[in-house]
Amino acid sequence: MSIPNEIKTIGIVGAGQMGNGIAHVCAVAGYDVLLNDQDPTRIDAALGIIERNMARQAAKGALADRDMKDALGRIAKAPRLADFAACDLAIESAAEDESVKRKIFADLNGIMRTEAMLATNTSSISITRLAAATERPDRFIGLHFMNPAPLMKLVELIRGLATSQETYETALRFVESLGKTAANAEDFPAFIVNRVLIPMINEAVYTLYEGVGSVEAIDKAMRLGANHPMGPLELADFIGLDTCLAIMQVLNEGLADTKYRPCPLLVKYVEAGWLGKKSQRGFYDYRGDKPMPTR
């Protein structure tokens, strides 16, 4: 894949699961990457995860050893947002919290060149509203990568009300240069994938809440009965229950339909800090030799 002429250096805000995956993909595709996080220790942790994930790809023959070495050499730490001054594109991949994201974009707007592009990896929040936090809404777009970014082929491409056609076409070429497939989504709450997926997960939680089936039975039923690669509760733990709840809240508030009401059990798990794999407990307990259902 050829790299779009307009983009050479990419800044990524947020070194968590999605941010490190996006950094991985961009570096392998030949881009220089600056990785930022408000917690500098998370940047170091992310670099370790990226190296391990690339080594796994190399062991499977999906990435040559030389290409892995080159890709790792393209990723640099950027402990301050001010380091993004020379970036051609910044991709925000922070927590699914609109106030956090708006603050990041307001800061980036004053740091990056006026012709540079801004993108968000939000899975549910309005692109138009986030773009309004900047003075360049025409250079702003949604790039929603799927998790895990190195493996999943899809990127949702979402235009805000003011996104220019030039920005859209540049973003499309960028997505294709990563070896990904773009799906155009309109700027409605949760876009396409999560508009369908997260309410399904919420319904699975209601099924558990109402005692229709156990965690194990629900996941087994959907794996074997609907041919899903993961059961919905296992998938919720992988995504993060806090993220699932945040998306349901965006759908509930944005569409004002009772079918998007978050299940009280999902709320309770998040309140308990049982967020899934990242906290070692969710619908499964991951602290032992193998995951065990918590209900």
Question: Does residue 221 sit in the same domain as residue 81?
Answer: no
Residue 222 is assigned to a structural domain of this protein:
yes
Question: Does residue 41 sit in the same domain as residue 101?
Answer: yes
Q: How many domains, in total, are found in the chain?
A: 2
Cα angle 286-229-295, degrees, rounded to a multiple of 5: 40
Question: Does residue 172 sit in the same domain as residue 58?
Answer: yes
Residue 58 is assigned to a structural domain of this protein:
yes
Residue 190 is assigned to a structural domain of this protein:
no
Residues 217/207, Cβ–Cβ less than 8 Å:
no
pLDDT per residue, tens digit, the chain (295 aa), is 555 678 999 999 999 999 999 999 999 999 999 999 999 999 999 999 999 999 999 999 999 999 999 999 999 999 999 999 999 999 999 998 999 999 999 999 999 999 999 999 999 999 999 999 999 999 999 999 999 999 999 999 999 999 999 999 999 999 999 999 999 999 999 999 999 999 999 999 999 999 999 999 999 999 999 999 999 999 999 999 999 999 999 999 999 999 999 999 999 999 999 999 999 999 999 999 999 999 9
Residue 230 is assigned to a structural domain of this protein:
yes
Question: Does residue 146 sit in the same domain as residue 26?
Answer: yes
Q: Which of 150, 185, 220 is the last residue of a domain?
A: 185
Model pLDDT, residue 3: 59
Question: Per the omega criterion (within 30 degrees of 0), is the bond before 148 cis?
Answer: yes
Residue 2 is assigned to a structural domain of this protein:
no
Q: How far apart are CA 210 and CA 251, in angstroms?
A: 22
Question: Does residue 50 sit in the same domain as residue 167?
Answer: yes
Model pLDDT, residue 189: 95
Tokens representing residue 285 in the block: 């307990």
Model pLDDT, residue 2: 57
Question: Does residue 244 sit in the same domain as residue 104?
Answer: no
Number of neighbouring beta carbons within 10 Å of residue 183: 15
Q: What is the CATH number of the domain that holds 132?
A: 3.40.50.720
Question: Does residue 38 sit in the same domain as residue 74?
Answer: yes
Identify each DSSP E strand in 164-211 by its residue range.
Answer: 181-185
Q: How far apart are CA 44 and CA 2, in angstroms?
A: 30
Model pLDDT, residue 6: 85
Question: Does residue 48 sit in the same domain as residue 173?
Answer: yes
Question: Does residue 242 sit in the same domain as residue 209?
Answer: yes
Q: How far apart are CA 291 and CA 36, in angstroms?
A: 32
Q: Which of 141, 160, 185 is the last residue of a domain?
A: 185
| pTM for the predicted model, two decimal places | 0.91
Question: Does residue 20 sit in the same domain as residue 49?
Answer: yes
- φ/ψ (deg, to 5) at 289: -70, -35
Q: What is the CATH number of the domain that holds 244?
A: 1.10.1040.10
Q: Which of 185, 215, 248 is the last residue of a domain?
A: 185
Question: Does residue 172 sit in the same domain as residue 209?
Answer: no
Residue 115 is assigned to a structural domain of this protein:
yes
Contacts of 194 (CB under 8 A, 6+ apart): 123, 124, 247
Residues 159/182, Cβ–Cβ less than 8 Å:
no
Residue 49 is assigned to a structural domain of this protein:
yes
Question: Does residue 48 sit in the same domain as residue 90?
Answer: yes
Residues 160/137, Cβ–Cβ less than 8 Å:
yes
Range of the domain at 82: 9-185
Model pLDDT, residue 272: 98
Residue 112 is assigned to a structural domain of this protein:
yes
Q: In what order do the strands lie in the sheet with 154-159?
A: 75-77, 32-36, 9-13, 89-92, 117-120, 140-145, 154-159, 181-185
- Helix H or strand E segment including 99: helix 98-111
Give me the active site residues, please. Answer: 123, 144, 156, 194
